[in-house]
Amino acid sequence: MQKRAELYRGKAKTVYYTDNPDLLILEFRNDTSAFDGLRIEQLERKGMINNKFNHFIMNKLAIAGIPTQVEQLLSDNEVLVKKLAMIPVECVIRNRAAGSLVKRLGIEEGRVLNPPTFELFLKNDALHDPLVNESHCRAFGWATTEQLERMKALSFKINTILSELFDKAGLILVDYKLEFGVFNGEITLGDEFSPDGCRLWEKETLKKMDKDRFRQGLGGVIEAYEEVAQRIGVVL
Ligand code: ADP
Ligand code: UDP
């Protein structure tokens, strides 16, 4: 499948049209951003790792019955996906307190959240991706009640599948962000699942193995991503 015109260049990926109007190519770049794009650095190999990581995870989810965008891995940095009409909110599931939840509510980092929480954030860098609720989504036309119900149910189902997968690899899935879109009327998982958009802690040591290493200047970012990939069986 040939790349055609660029549709969108985001902070970490570039999206291209293809000859098929229903399909796009996502190109994973090495750009690594934090603080709503305020800080951007190139991390060698990151594009390749996240592309293969994402493909591996989305395949697992598809096998478990989750509708996903993935069509075919094309190269180290490219994947062919369904062209979704993206819903402009991010769905965040948390199994432990970390990140913005800790700051916003003063909860101690690492506290187990049982049941896990489900939050919605508007995708808008200029507004720093504010927390929104379901009535905002309905009132502003971002998602319907039915779409919200489906996104929530899929997010929790994905939590069950992935928490087990990472647990078996000696890792805690602390939290993660998902983006959904609509394809042929069906809510479908889009964007990516990679250590850029989730928090993973080593079970024994609670060592951070995700993008927090970049956000917090801890070093060893790519080494951590590679270690996680290797532990869950991603072939790099
Ligand atoms: P950002 O837009 O946050 O800077 P990226 O650099 O990851 O993020 O850019 C990828 C863009 O492509 C995002 O805006 C995302 O919503 C969009 N996208 C991801 N998957 C699909 C898809 N399957 N169909 C259409 N758009 C997609
Ligand atoms: N996340 C993301 N993109 C965003 C915001 C959050 O991928 O624009 C992920 C983040 O990596 C974490 C989870 O969503 O795994 C929850 O993020 P949080 O709300 O704690 O915000 P943060 O402190 O990461 O800004």
Least Cα distance to 23 among 235, 212, 183 occurs for 183
* pLDDT score, position 21: 98
* pLDDT score, position 223: 98
What does the alpha-carbon distance between residue 198 and residue 53 come to, in Å, rounded to a whole number? 12
What string of H, E and C letters represents the secondary structure of 134-160?
A: HHHHHHCCCCCHHHHHHHHHHHHHHHH
What mean pLDDT value characterizes the chain? 97
At 3-29, the pLDDT tens digits run 999 999 999 999 999 999 999 999 999
What does the alpha-carbon distance between residue 116 and residue 157 come to, in Å, rounded to a whole number? 12
* pLDDT score, position 1: 81
Residue ranges of the chain whose pLDDT lies below 50: none
Question: How far away, in angstroms, is 129 Cα from ligand 2 center?
Answer: 9
Q: Which numbered atom of ligand 2 lies nearest the CA of 198? A: 15
Q: Give the helix/strand (H/E) hosting 183.
A: strand 171-183
The conformation of residue 208, written as its DSSP 8-state character, comes to B
Beta bridge partners of 132: 120
Residues 6+ apart with CB under 8 A from 99: 175, 199, 212
What does the alpha-carbon distance between residue 163 and residue 174 come to, in Å, rounded to a whole number? 9
At 155-169, the pLDDT tens digits run 999 999 999 999 999
Query: Phi first, then psi: what are they for 172, rounded to 5°?
Result: -100, 125
Please name which ligand lies nearest the alpha carbon of 28: 1
Q: Is the CB of 96 under 6 A from ligand 2?
A: no
* pLDDT score, position 217: 96
Pairing of strands 13-17, 6-9: antiparallel
* pLDDT score, position 69: 98
Specify the residue with its C-alpha closest to ligand 2, atom 23.
99
Tokens of residue 203, six digits: 């079970």
* pLDDT score, position 37: 84
Q: Which numbered atom of ligand 2 lies nearest the CA of 175? A: 15
What does the alpha-carbon distance between residue 88 and residue 208 come to, in Å, rounded to a whole number? 28
- Residue whose structure tokens are 């939290």: 175
Sign, CA dihedral 135-137-141-143, equals negative
Question: How far away, in angstroms, is 137 Cα from ligand 1 center?
Answer: 19
Asked if residue 118 lies in contact with residue 155, where contact means CB atoms within 8 angstroms, the answer is yes
Please name which ligand lies nearest the alpha carbon of 88: 1
